[in-house]
Chains A and B, each alone.
Chain A
Amino acid sequence: MDALIAEFPRFVSGFLGTLRLCLFAAIGALVLGTLLAAFRVSPVPPLRWVGTSWVTVFRNSPLVVVLFLFAFGLPQVGVVFPTFGGNSFFWPGVAGLAAYTAAFVCEAVRSGINSVPAGQAEAARAVGLTFQQTLGSVVLPQALRTVVPPLGSVMIAMIKNSAIVGAFGVTGELFSVDGALTAAGYSALSSLGGVALAYLAITIPAGIGLGVLERKIEVKR
């Protein structure tokens, strides 16, 4: 643990780097995932196909391969990501992580919508509510409550997956701190142990917070 104490500023910057990476990826994944979920429940078949194929492709391929494709495959077709503070792996990493996580977000949102009993919306329509009213005041409030717990675990999984982005290219996040410390001559146990503790400092409180939230908003059916 000597590395953790002696090189604390590096860990802090890595910690913030991970949070920054995850923030961008989370925004991308939530927006894209919700859009895909809307596609998957839409009455228009081609949109459903798009949603289904996205989920099938990204849920079944390893994140490593997705990241390699974004970082080394896309530049071959002229899609070049801008650098982020002189860091060429940051945006491909964020994009790959977001595209991958979006598939899981989509499934969480879709199963949330489907968990609302059909009778709820039928009753709403029967009393004369419009489509918007049915969706806004009957279906979505119930769906959101069931969506939050799985969505939370998807986000925690995404934070853990962000380490893979750090493993394949230097992006200034936690996992790349280990490389710098090893180069500086620290033992693997002290540098990696510090990195592991820093990840636990994010994931364990996040897990506990999610559990509390889950109990608070639980729907009794």
Chain B
Amino acid sequence: MSSVLYDAPGPRARRNTLIGTVIAVVLLAGLVVLAVIQLGENGQLDGEKWGPAFNPANQYFVATWSALGDGLVNTVVAAALTLVLALAIGTALAVARITSSRAYRWLVVSAIELFRGLPVVITIFLAARVLPEFGISLPPLWYLVIGLTAYNCVIIAEIVRAGVNALPRGQSEAAYAVGLTRFQVLRIILLPQAFRIMLPALISQLVVIVKDTSLGFVIFGFSEFVRTANTVIQFFGGQEGINLPLQMYIAVALVFILINYALSKLAEYVQRRTSRAGRAARNKDAAPPAELAPVGVGGAVT
């Protein structure tokens, strides 16, 4: 492979790479063997521990996954509601930031900075604990959705703003020239185009939202995926005397990895498609800004 660090390898470099590969494979195989021995010594390889989550023939398999399935549905519902709400509020915030006059733009900016600086788990906890103090009592799902939306809408607002700013200036100049108002320019000309280049960044943000729904475990009475898994673990620990936290959390992690990996691939695919199709329409040199890179470091870091 040739990168900034290496030229195309010659015979000697190829031989060194081969030696390195053999050594690395031996070391990795050794690590795997060690891990398996460690697992076996602690009785973690027993069928009764892995069965409930991984073996369809196990007597508990169906019951375990129907419970986990209910939790997963709650997780997906929370993520979907959050995405819709955050998209709506985030777009409104971005429009407010772009169109508002300097006199009160600082208000929008400081709201965005405020919520961006808070840990999501705090916004969720704030929603779940402070709203009831003001006499607003909602189903637990909504505390999670409100907490997640409070954080994610400002992130989406920043994504939308970056998307609008990335458009060539000629787009809005032409729109103003034909006599559209400021709001019409945004609604008819800028936002539709911005959403197109924003799509990969939005999908990456969805990965963050899906991951963060697991923070719902701090809200009592809401059985999302992780809390359901905890309940299942407690059931097996108490009722059946089988301790399987390791196996159950691995199963939970695998489901999350599958969902999020698929979403990240989708984001990359959309990114490739839009950058190909949009090249003719947009300015040749106008690469999307760093914030809009698909699964890039600037976009989704939590």
Residues of A near any B CB (own CB < 8 A): 41-47, 50, 56-57, 59-66, 68-69, 72-74, 76-78, 104, 107-108, 111, 113-114, 116-118, 120-122, 125, 135, 139, 149-150, 153-154, 157, 160-164, 167-168, 175, 178, 187-189, 192-193, 195-196, 199-200, 203-204, 207
Contact = CB atoms under 8 A, between A and B. Distances in A.
A153 to B, nearest CB: 5
Grouping DSSP codes into helix (H, G, I), strand (E, B) and loop, the B interface class, with mixed when no group exceeds half, is helix
B4 A118 contact: yes
Contacts of A74: 246
Interface in B172-211: 207, 211
B144 interface: no
Given A59-B260, A62-B214, A164-B121, 6 more contacts: A42-B20, A43-B6, A73-B245, A167-B218, A192-B130, A203-B116
A192 B119 contact: no
Interface in B76-118: 113-114, 116-118
B39 A77 contact: yes
Contact of B264 (A60, A113, A163, A203): A60
Contact of B121 (A121, A157, A163): A163
Interface of B: 1-7, 9, 13, 17, 20-21, 24-25, 28, 38-39, 41-42, 44, 113-114, 116-122, 125-126, 129-130, 133, 207, 211-215, 217-218, 226, 230, 243, 245-246, 249-250, 252-253, 256-257, 259-261, 264, 296-298, 301-302
Contact of B302 (A61, A76, A78, A157): A157
A175 B218 CA distance: 12
Nearest to B20: A44
Contacts of B212: 62
Contacts of A200: 114, 117-118
A164 B298 CA distance: 22
Most buried by B among A60, A66, A78, A122: A60
A68 B106 CA distance: 41
Given A46-B25, A78-B42, A73 B133 contact: no
